[in-house]
């Protein structure tokens, strides 16, 4: 349900014999080779990488709605954002439905999300499009937000006198992105992002939303790993990020995680594992720390190195990204973009 933290100490060891113009496979490891995939022993400071994740449990459908109509992502930019940062994130969202990206592609990764259905058998939409955007550059609710005040930020965006965001409870997703100088409750200590739905008593509507923070200043070694590494692990070298922005490149995988789970479990009553909907294990939670073929346990899987030395595993329309895989309930394994998922 929420991207949280236990693999802050995860070790990536990249062995590169040559740099080629074509992407080069690289192998990466986490430091606990004795643990099982998705083990609940993978703890750090008593919290897990994905809030609510646990021993492998059976994912099932709880009869709630999923997003079968064309999905529109409305972004709230909270704080100060540079134009290049916004462009990286916009292009990722636009890449989800792109059919012309070179494999392995973001759209190939989304095809696994599309497999999930509602009670009528209708699949999650192929179309994910960027909607309207709202800038809150003056920190209208301060630089320290709680989970409830996040909903107040969304309320301000949808009720603004000038260019309010449209309210679309059926197929609209609201993505609140906080800049690097904003702290959110549990950020860095427990979560890197989370999703839920707004309360009508606060916002006036029930709207599926996600929050993701830019960790560049507060905890890049935790939420932007492996593009930054924890200070308490001496000698560990960070990998080069594909878009030359450690904080934003780290956000991309979190954004992908939350959008996939919003599509399959927007009101926390659709696709999840576990008995308690307050702490569901969702389709991205079940693949924590897996970015490539063979991933599981201590091994994150095979990723790619570009000709400039940057690490990625998916192509977008014009950019490359590193995105965690998601659970394929119908084949019972973690699945990525088709070209890597063989």
pLDDT tens per residue, range 16-29: 323 333 566 654 44
Helices (H), ranges, 191-272 = 220-223, 246-264
Q: Is the pLDDT of residue 116 over 90?
A: yes
Q: Summarize the confidence of residues 243-255 as an average pLDDT.
A: 98
Instruction: Give dist(CA 202, CA 57) in Å, integer.
Output: 34
Q: Is the pLDDT of residue 34 over 60?
A: no
Angle at 62 between CA 57 and CA 64, to 5 degrees: 140
CB 214 within 8 A of CB 179: yes
Phi, psi angle pair for 167, to nearest 5°: -100, 115
Q: Which of 7-11, 96-100, 136-140, 170-174 has the highest mean predicted lDDT (pLDDT)?
A: 136-140
DSSP-derived 3-state class of residue 29? strand
Pairing between β-strand 24-26 and β-strand 303-305 as defined by DSSP bridges: antiparallel
Angle at 179 between CA 260 and CA 285, to 5 degrees: 25
pLDDT tier for residue 188 given thresholds of 50, 70 and 90: very high
- Least confident range of 65-79, 241-255, 273-287: 273-287
- Least confident range of 16-30, 79-93, 173-187, 287-301: 16-30
CB 132 within 8 A of CB 166: yes
CB 56 within 8 A of CB 327: no
Q: What is the pTM of this model?
A: 0.86
Structure tokens that stand for 57 in this block: 């449990």
Structure tokens that stand for 263 in this block: 């599509």
CB 231 within 8 A of CB 238: no
- Indicate the burial class of 288 (C-beta count within 10 angstroms; 0-12, 13-18, 19 or more): buried
DSSP-derived 3-state class of residue 227? coil
Instruction: Give dist(CA 169, CA 251) in Å, integer.
Output: 25
């Amino acid at each position: 349900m929420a991207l949280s933290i236990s693999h802050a100490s995860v070790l990536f060891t990249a062995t590169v014999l040559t740099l080629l113009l074509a992407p080069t496979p690289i192998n990466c490891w986490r430091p606990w080779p004795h643990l099982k995939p998705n083990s609940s022993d993978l703890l750090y400071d008593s919290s897990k990488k994905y809030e609510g994740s646990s021993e492998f449990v059976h994912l099932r459908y709880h009869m709630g709605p999923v997003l079968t109509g064309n999905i529109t992502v409305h972004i709230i930019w909270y704080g100060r954002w540079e134009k290049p940062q916004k462009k990286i994130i916009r292009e990722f969202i636009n890449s989800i439905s792109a059919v012309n990206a070179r494999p392995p592609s973001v759209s190939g990764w989304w095809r696994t999300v599309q497999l999930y259905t509602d009670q009528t058998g209708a699949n999650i939409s192929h179309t994910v499009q960027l909607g309207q955007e709202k800038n809150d550059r003056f920190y209208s609710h301060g630089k320290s937000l709680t989970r409830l005040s996040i909903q107040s930020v969304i309320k301000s965006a949808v009720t603004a006198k000038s260019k309010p965001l449209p309210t679309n409870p059926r197929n609209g997703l609201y993505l609140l992105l906080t800049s690097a100088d904003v702290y959110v409750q549990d950020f860095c200590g427990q979560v890197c992002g989370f999703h839920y739905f707004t309360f009508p008593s606060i916002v006036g509507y029930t709207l599926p939303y996600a929050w993701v923070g830019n960790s560049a200043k507060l905890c890049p070694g935790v939420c932007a790993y492996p593009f930054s590494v924890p200070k308490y692990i001496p000698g560990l070298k960070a990998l080069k990020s594909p878009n030359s922005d450690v904080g934003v490149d780290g956000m991309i995988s979190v954004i992908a995680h939350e959008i996939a789970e919003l599509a399959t479990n927007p009101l926390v009553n659709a696709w999840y594992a576990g008995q308690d909907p307050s702490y569901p294990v969702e389709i991205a939670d079940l693949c924590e720390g897996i970015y490539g073929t063979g991933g599981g346990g201590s091994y994150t899987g095979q990723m790619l190195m570009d000709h400039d030395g940057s690490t990625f595993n998916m192509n977008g329309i014009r950019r490359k990204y590193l995105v965690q895989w998601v659970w394929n309930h119908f084949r019972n394994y973690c699945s990525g973009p088709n070209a890597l998922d063989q």
